[in-house]
Amino acid sequence: MARRSTGRHRYTPYGGGDPLAPPVDLAEALDSIGEDVMAGYSPERAMREFLRRGGRDREGLDDLARRVAEKRRELLSQHNMDGTLQEIRELLDHAVMSERGQLARDVEMDDADRAFREMQLDNLPQSTAAAVSELSDYDWQSREAREDYERIKDLLGREMLDQRFAGMKQALENATDEDREAINEMLTDLNELLDKHGRGEDSQEDFDEFMAKHGDFFPENPQNVDELIDALAQRAAAAQRMLNSMSREQRQELMALSQQAFGSPALMEQLVQLDANLQALRPGEDWSGSERFDGEQGLGLGDGTGVLQDIADLDELADQLSQTYDGARMDDLDLDKLARQLGPEAAVDARTLQRLEQALRDSGYLKRSSDGQLKLSPKAMRQLGRALLRDVASRMSGRQGQRDLRQSGAAGERSGATRAWEFGDTEPWDVTRTVTNAVQRVVADGGDPRTGVRLHIDDVEVTETEARTQAAVALLVDTSFSMAMDGRWVPMKRTALALHTLIRSRFRGDDLQLITFGRYAQSMDIDQLTALDARWDKGTNLHHGLLLANRHFRKHPNAQPVLLIVTDGEPTSHLEPGGEVYFEYPPHPLTVAYAVRELDNAGRLGAQTTFFRLGDDPGLARFIDSMARRVDGRVVSPELDDLGAAVVGSYLGSRSPAGLSGYGHYGDWFGGRGFWVGS
């Protein structure tokens, strides 16, 4: 019976972003985060560091922060704060020059009147503001001079308004008396609205009525009074910071000149009241800051306020990009401001970083432990291990993609899984999957499988197999202080994770024990080892490590013991019969004897032993060689970059002949890489 619809749907609102944008590259991020975690970073810090560095094809937070800082320096170095004063001085000088020329040309003027006017012009104060004020009642004889003087008052008015309302300077050019009256009415209504809001007596209807009447003055299109106040307060605070950035003489000049704005002191009174209202309503804005401008390009009051707003935006972006405050998240980034200041490409990069952070948190690669800290999840460990295995395979093959570790154990039992056939495969075909693939291909191409199906090579799938031989593997890794001091800590962890991933994914019947040995030895899970911080205690307790390895071998009496030892130093500590740790350097003979005794025990258990010697210390080389000869083992001296390939190759070689399928001769492989292999 058909299910009856409940009337509900499964659609949800679109969450934003570019729906056609490619998915973020979590593999690259996880590789980088895993490397940093192995180096001792917490997963949270490792994720932050990746976001700072960015990926191969995108800028990171540090790149964006650098561009923000460069633009801020550029704004400060290009401009200075006296642009309006310079423009007024030029208009005043031109007006006085035009007036002098008119006085000289006017032959009909009374000589006494001419002399008096010339004396007025000659004795104008040096201060631009005082000169403009003194000429407010002057009867200009030159029409051109009168127009220049009127432009001074018009410019002052437009600049004063442009400080508070972006775009006013251009919008009010050649303004009429009606335009000025409309501005005065808007300012009066605005101050009344802000007064009511400050008393808590305003309503949305009051705001809607104000916007219906004066909305053309506010291109930001605020939706309520709080948005209106936010926009105005940010610009007013920037205007105040601009004044604070001027010299005392410049501020005095500007304040005196402001009384001449539009020839109406009432305008300045309204603006002063507006600033007071905004400062009371938004005291958290930066009203006291200042900047040092060192450039040659003069800024008008409106442009200067805009520059100060830009600088405030850049400072806010710098804080957001730093991600150093408590609770910082990539979602804090203001993408609109970033696009406005650095361009749309920067916003795209930031948006990608936001999606990447969210994807890392949502993908299951990072999880929170009981103490609230982020940890790499088992899923992340598997992904990271697979990436390390691919690197190991490429190093073993000498060519990326030439061979795949899944071929190991090809002569064993079927695992139940299948895969596409590849050149060189000897596994049996999975006939059912192969025929099914062929039928599906024919149908997809529009054919009729009832008329016959012809197999293509791409249809073939083979069964995966696992080796029959079970192994008990003990990987002993040196965690003494020299491993961290000489940069061997991360390669050691990468090696352990690669081997762990190989055994868990391809040799599930094998049992791997990870054992660290520094001043003392300890068995660890892979996630513990991956997150292990560098240890600076002195001591290389190979004796204790071999004790734990032999205990592991005895727990699996029917398995082939495989002993892999990674070290860069001779044993310098051992366990006393009472369990205490004894340390001495140079190595005490008893310490060496204890280590040799446990190695002999491993040999009697049938362990196939490989030593991986790191470093070129001759004493270590002699000691490792003699130890390997006692148990018919081998010695490998790999470079750090090849340590993982060396350990994995040794495991495959000592495990079973089938394990070497596809890799060539083990000794040849090491010899081809310049390693010395002995027994």
Per-residue pLDDT, 675: 31
> What value does the mean pLDDT take over residues 14-31?
63
Per-residue pLDDT, 35: 77
Assess if residue 261 is contained within a domain: yes
Lowest mean pLDDT among 24-28, 274-278, 327-331, 652-656: 652-656
Tokens of 463: 């069964």
Q: Is the pLDDT of residue 627 over 90?
A: yes
Q: Residue 166 corresponds to which amino acid?
A: A
Per-residue pLDDT, 405: 39
Q: Does residue 521 sit in the same domain as residue 555? A: yes
pLDDT digits (tens, 9 = 90+) for 434-446: 999 989 988 888 8
Cα separation, 581 vs 131, in Å, equals 92
Per-residue pLDDT, 44: 76
Could you tell me if 628 and 605 are in contact, meaning their C-beta atoms sit under 8 angstroms apart?
no
Q: Burial letters for 182-199: b for 16+ Cβ neighbours within 10 Å, e otherwise?
A: bbeebbeebbebbeebee
Assess if residue 429 is contained within a domain: yes
pLDDT digits (tens, 9 = 90+) for 316-369: 788 888 887 777 788 888 888 888 888 888 888 888 888 887 887 777 777 776
pLDDT digits (tens, 9 = 90+) for 46-55: 788 888 888 7
Query: For residue 532, what is the DSSP state?
Result: P
Percent of the chain predicted with pLDDT > 70 = 73
Per-residue pLDDT, 4: 42
Q: Is the pLDDT of residue 224 over 70?
A: yes
Q: Does residue 558 sit in the same domain as residue 481? A: yes
Assess if residue 94 is contained within a domain: yes
In this prediction, residue 157 has a pLDDT band, given cuts at 50, 70 and 90, of: low
In this prediction, residue 659 has a pLDDT band, given cuts at 50, 70 and 90, of: very low
Lowest mean pLDDT among 420-434, 554-568, 614-628: 420-434
In this prediction, residue 523 has a pLDDT band, given cuts at 50, 70 and 90, of: very high
Cα separation, 459 vs 435, in Å, equals 7
- The residues, ordered by sequence, that sit 6+ positions from 267 with a Cβ below 8 Å of its Cβ are 157, 160, 161, 180, 183, 184, 187, 261
Q: Does residue 43 sit in the same domain as residue 93? A: no
CATH classification of the domain holding 493: 3.40.50.410
Most confident of 146-160, 203-217, 545-559: 545-559
Q: Is the pLDDT of residue 388 over 80?
A: no
In this prediction, residue 625 has a pLDDT band, given cuts at 50, 70 and 90, of: very high
> What value does the mean pLDDT take over residues 621-643?
91
More confident of the two residues 137 and 493? 493
In this prediction, residue 61 has a pLDDT band, given cuts at 50, 70 and 90, of: confident
Alpha helices in 363-459 (DSSP H): 378-397, 431-444
Lowest mean pLDDT among 98-107, 155-164, 350-359, 472-481: 155-164
Percent of the chain predicted with pLDDT > 90 = 18
Could you tell me if 590 and 639 are in contact, meaning their C-beta atoms sit under 8 angstroms apart?
no
Assess if residue 306 is contained within a domain: no
Alpha helices in 215-281 (DSSP H): 225-245, 248-258, 265-281
More confident of the two residues 22 and 560? 560
Per-residue pLDDT, 162: 62
Assess if residue 649 is contained within a domain: yes
Q: Does residue 135 sit in the same domain as residue 95? A: yes
Q: Is the pLDDT of residue 668 over 50?
A: no
Could you tell me if 635 and 611 are in contact, meaning their C-beta atoms sit under 8 angstroms apart?
yes
Write out the residue range of the structural domain in which residue 152 sits: 82-292
Assess if residue 459 is contained within a domain: yes
Q: What are the percentages of helix, strand and coil residues in the chain, rounded to 5?
A: 60, 10, 30
pLDDT digits (tens, 9 = 90+) for 225-262: 998 888 888 777 766 776 666 566 655 655 655 555 55
pLDDT digits (tens, 9 = 90+) for 309-318: 677 677 778 8
Per-residue pLDDT, 596: 96
Could you tell me if 243 and 293 are in contact, meaning their C-beta atoms sit under 8 angstroms apart?
no
Q: Is the pLDDT of residue 121 over 80?
A: yes
In this prediction, residue 575 has a pLDDT band, given cuts at 50, 70 and 90, of: very high
Q: Does residue 63 sit in the same domain as residue 116? A: no
Q: Does residue 172 sit in the same domain as residue 99? A: yes
Residue found by looking up tokens 């083979």 in the block: 462
Tokens of 639: 């470079």
Per-residue pLDDT, 513: 96
Q: Does residue 65 sit in the same domain as residue 148? A: no
Mean pLDDT of the chain: 77
Of 330, 352, 376, which residue sits at a domain end? Answer: 376
Q: Does residue 75 sit in the same domain as residue 86? A: no
Of 376, 401, 430, which residue sits at a domain end? Answer: 376
Could you tell me if 91 and 83 are in contact, meaning their C-beta atoms sit under 8 angstroms apart?
no
Of 421, 443, 466, which residue sits at a domain end? Answer: 466
In this prediction, residue 397 has a pLDDT band, given cuts at 50, 70 and 90, of: low
> What value does the mean pLDDT take over residues 3-24?
49
Per-residue pLDDT, 512: 95
Assess if residue 35 is contained within a domain: yes
Cα separation, 478 vs 564, in Å, equals 11
Q: Is the pLDDT of residue 79 over 60?
A: no
Strand partners, 412: none
Could you tell me if 305 and 59 are in contact, meaning their C-beta atoms sit under 8 angstroms apart?
no
Q: Is the pLDDT of residue 511 over 90?
A: yes
Lowest mean pLDDT among 169-178, 442-451, 492-501: 169-178
Per-residue pLDDT, 253: 58
Assess if residue 384 is contained within a domain: no
Per-residue pLDDT, 402: 35
DSSP per residue, 538-572: ----HHHHHHHHHHHHHH-TTSEEEEEEEESS---
In this prediction, residue 609 has a pLDDT band, given cuts at 50, 70 and 90, of: very high
> What value does the mean pLDDT take over residues 266-287?
80
More confident of the two residues 401 and 371? 371
> What value does the mean pLDDT take over residues 78-99?
73
Q: Does residue 128 sit in the same domain as residue 256? A: yes
Sign of the C-alpha dihedral, residues 506, 510, 514, 515?
negative
Q: Does residue 194 sit in the same domain as residue 165? A: yes
The tally of domains found in the chain comes to: 4
Q: Does residue 492 sit in the same domain as residue 574? A: yes
Q: pTM here?
A: 0.53
Per-residue pLDDT, 568: 93
More confident of the two residues 261 and 620? 620
Q: Does residue 369 sit in the same domain as residue 456? A: no
Q: Is the pLDDT of residue 18 over 80?
A: no
